[in-house]
Amino acid sequence: MKKFLYILPIIIVILTLGFNAKFDKMFESFDEFLADYPMYLDVTKRDKVENFKSDFQLVLLELDEKSYDTISEQYSKYDSLSAQKRSAFAKVVKYISEQGVKAIAFDFTYETLSDPEADKEFIGSLKAAQEKGVKIILGSKMMFDEISSKPEFDTPAIKGFEYGLINNAPNKNNIIRKPFLFVKYKDEMRYTLALKLYMEINNIKEVKYDERYLYLNDDKKLPIQYAKGQGLELAYYNIYYTMRFGDSHIFPISAIIDDKQRKEYTEDNYFISYDLNNNERSVFKDAVVFIGTSSPDDQDFVTYSLSQFEQGTAIVPGVHIHMSSFFSMLFGLDYDQMRENTLFYLTVIITLIFSILFIFIGPLKGLLAMMFGVFFTNAISWLLFVEKGYLFLPRKPIVGIIIGFLIIESYKFFFESREKKKIKGAFSMYISPALVQNIVKNPDQLKLGGEEKELTILFSDIANFTTLSEAIGAVKLVSLLNEYLTAMTDIIMEESGTLDKYIGDAVMAFWGAPVDDEKHSEKACRAAIRMIETLEKLKQDWKERDYPEFGIRIGLNTGNAIVGNMGAKKRFNYTVMGDTVNLASRLEGLNKAYGSTIMVSESTYLQNKDKFKFRELDLVKVKGKTQGVRVFQLLHFEPDENYEKGVAIFTEALEIYRAGNFAAALSKFKAVYEFIPGDTVTDTFVKRCELLSQEPPEEWDGIWTMKTK
């Protein structure tokens, strides 16, 4: 089957091409982002715009809110706003044409007439400007019929002038990336406002085009994205620049129609500029003027392609897009884009190279190679654009790299996993799933050695097991033990513990290894409580089956221990060693002396005192220890009010006992029975105080020394 690995690259190429074809539309937004970012860097870092000079200037006259107020005041003789605007525009056209303007482009449509007097005034100003040699371009619109999806061009009401489409066409997510250059339906061709303006200024009567370029003349061509279907032809302009305030002169229309404002602008030299030879001249001398709106009421705002990277400039008036197109035609702020067939072959080559590479390297190196391939392909895309103005969208080859890595590594994993299954099969019956997974991932851990870690150790044992084993036969005993040990082991593993071993009827487990776990002591405590609760449920079932009942004792200790593979080179066991383990074992045995069920050390108590209910038991010196340790009872039930009162009295008695006043302590301990009748822990101290009262020790430090394990 490994031979199949070497033909996988070809299969991966086929899958990559199929995936890209199937989900091409889905990833359009991603492609656009990959295109937008280098465009943004190119505009902001190369500072090309500052060096652009021409023999004419760009001026934007905006119909803002202040201008609307001025128009309403000065042209109130007209009832309609349309008539008021046309009369105001007549004054604007007259003024700027007298200043020597070169061309005027209106980002407004004129599908209907308004007031006869206002229309006559406006049309007269346009004709007068034309007679002075001013190029006039009015706006028109194109609409799509919702049923037939066919374009419909409006019919201008004002005749005798050139018109350009002012539609702004969102490409994706309502973002303008590539504005129209022309729309052709059957034999009717309509140019956009910017292109028509450029053609008029340069005396271009018609243009030629193919699928990559629109040819303005022998020396000038614009890169386009061409689309065709159902008799409709469209050309989008590959533009990556949006006008900024510093690239043109911007004035409100009120600065011209209001004589007072115009005087202020003139006196403050706002209407003064300089030609290429740095000679002073009027801003409108040889200027190309765009007239548009920036009033919120007109709702002529668009989001442009670079806005996602710029704070506060995401939305601009639609007229800015027309100016940007015109500006790009002047100074070549456009880009070529890699052809689809070239991208197809490049995707095949890159996918093959990386797929073959993944075969011969491991998964980690493969992951690094994949990341490098993705980064490198993006870097090449960025460099080609910034240095050469050539757009290569890297998404398709990147998909090939990622698919190649996933398939090759999945295939290799399939065969390697068979070996890992053998390891799982050998160990999963004896140790925790976490340890099995750790060994599968790191087979080198199957060697001798250990490390010191903080762990929580659990020992549990059946009380009076010898008596139990004598009471029932061997077959019944084995069945009972198997049922009991299965239930206890399941709890340990469910609480992320590692089963160390069974010692006859005893269970040894630990938490905190092989996988690090900050909550190891908490999980161990919860496991101990669950073990007692589960045993109570088992007892009910055993009673119905005539099985004997028994209790268990559990000891828990938290501390540093050595954990690892211990034993001989050919046979070893993953286990724990150290004083922490020994103390846990001693605590399990101490339950018998105190009549408790779950005993924990002070270290375990301190890490969990706010999570579970505890009861301090004693300060005791176990066999093998030179110093006393505080031990606590972990309650496996929710204490009621009486129980808590009894524990409070017990705690007071314990302090008196440690102070050496055994008679007073005895009296206090007996008071516990009022609230906790038959308390076995209290029984221990009552007997001890009676003994110590009769035979007081010569020296007393409050520590009880155990003579046995």
**What is the per-residue pLDDT across 449-503, written as a single tens digit (0 to 9) for each?**
578 899 999 999 988 776 777 777 777 888 888 899 999 999 998 898 888 888 8
| pLDDT tens, residue by residue, 316-328 | 888 988 998 998 8
Closest of 251, 289, 253, 286 to residue 270, by C-alpha: 251
Q: How far apart are CA 296 and CA 294, in angstroms?
A: 6
Instruction: Tell whether 37 is covered by a domain.
Output: no
- pLDDT of residue 596 exceeding 90, the answer is yes
Q: In this predicted structure, what is the pLDDT of residue 359?
A: 87
Domain stops at, among 610, 638, 666: 638
Please give the structure tokens belonging to residue 234.
Answer: 């469209």
- pLDDT of residue 604 exceeding 90, the answer is yes
Instruction: Tell whether 47 is covered by a domain.
Output: no
Instruction: Tell whether 695 is covered by a domain.
Output: yes
Instruction: Tell whether 38 is covered by a domain.
Output: no
Instruction: Tell whether 426 is covered by a domain.
Output: no
**Single-letter amino acid code for the residue at 75:** Y
DSSP string, 317-329: ETHHHHHHHHHHH
**pLDDT band of 46, cuts 50, 70, 90:** very low
The answer on 648 and 632 residing in a single domain is no
3-state secondary structure of 623: coil
The answer on 239 and 286 residing in a single domain is yes
**pLDDT band of 115, cuts 50, 70, 90:** very high
Instruction: Tell whether 42 is covered by a domain.
Output: no
- For residues 128 and 476, the model is more confident at 128
192 DSSP assignment:
B
Chain centroid to CA 682:
58
Domain stops at, among 331, 349, 378: 331
Closest of 238, 418, 205, 426 to residue 329, by C-alpha: 238
**Single-letter amino acid code for the residue at 94:** K
- End-to-end Cα, the chain, rounded Å: 60
Please give the structure tokens belonging to residue 403.
Answer: 């698919």
The answer on 680 and 659 residing in a single domain is yes
Per residue in 364-402, is it b (16+ CB within 10 Å) or e — as a string? eebeebbeebbeebbeebbebbeeebebbbbbbbbbbbb
Closest of 272, 478, 396 to residue 23, by C-alpha: 396
Provide mean pLDDT across the span 237-259.
Answer: 82
Instruction: Tell whether 33 is covered by a domain.
Output: no
CB 235 within 8 Å of CB 181: yes
Mean pLDDT is lowest, of 148-152, 158-162, 298-302, 648-652, for 148-152
**pLDDT band of 173, cuts 50, 70, 90:** low
Closest of 326, 324, 312 to residue 241, by C-alpha: 324
Q: In this predicted structure, what is the pLDDT of residue 198?
A: 94
The whole domain housing 649 covers 639-709
Q: How many residues are given for the chain?
A: 709
| pLDDT tens, residue by residue, 539-552 | 888 888 888 888 99
Q: How far apart are CA 200 and CA 335, in angstroms?
A: 24
Mean pLDDT is lowest, of 148-152, 271-275, 650-654, for 148-152
Instruction: Tell whether 30 is covered by a domain.
Output: no
CATH code: domain of residue 538: 3.30.70.1230
Q: How far apart are CA 318 and CA 300, in angstroms?
A: 5
Domain stops at, among 392, 421, 450: 421
CB atoms within 10 A of CB 466: 9
Percent of the chain exceeding pLDDT 90 equals: 47
The answer on 461 and 385 residing in a single domain is no
The answer on 443 and 368 residing in a single domain is no
Q: How far apart are CA 257 and CA 540, in angstroms?
A: 99
The answer on 365 and 506 residing in a single domain is no
- For residues 668 and 30, the model is more confident at 668
The answer on 455 and 348 residing in a single domain is no
CB burial of residue 45 (10 Å; 0-12, 13-18, 19+): exposed
The answer on 616 and 550 residing in a single domain is yes
The answer on 348 and 410 residing in a single domain is yes
Q: How far apart are CA 327 and CA 343, in angstroms?
A: 30
Assessment of whether the complete model's pTM goes beyond 0.75: no
Q: In this predicted structure, what is the pLDDT of residue 575?
A: 84
Query: Can you give the three-state secondary structure of 583-624, one letter per residue?
Result: HHHHHHHHHHHHCCCEEEEHHHHHHHCCCCCEEEEEEEECCC
| pLDDT tens, residue by residue, 551-581 | 999 999 999 999 887 766 556 677 899 999 9
297 DSSP assignment:
G
- The continuous run of DSSP H or E covering 97 comes out as helix 81-98
> Residue for token digits 């128009």?
71
The answer on 547 and 520 residing in a single domain is yes
Q: Output phi, psi for 170, to 5 deg.
A: -65, 135
136 DSSP assignment:
E
| pLDDT tens, residue by residue, 184-212 | 888 888 999 999 999 999 999 889 999 89
The answer on 218 and 72 residing in a single domain is yes
Percent of the chain exceeding pLDDT 70 equals: 85
Q: How far apart are CA 344 and CA 367, in angstroms?
A: 24
Q: How far apart are CA 220 and CA 388, in angstroms?
A: 18
The answer on 644 and 682 residing in a single domain is yes
Count of domains forming the chain: 4
- Select, from the ranges 295-304, 363-372, 467-476, the one with the highest average predicted confidence (pLDDT): 363-372
**Single-letter amino acid code for the residue at 68:** Y
Q: Are strands 221-229 and 232-237 parallel, antiparallel or unpaired?
A: antiparallel
Q: In this predicted structure, what is the pLDDT of residue 422?
A: 59
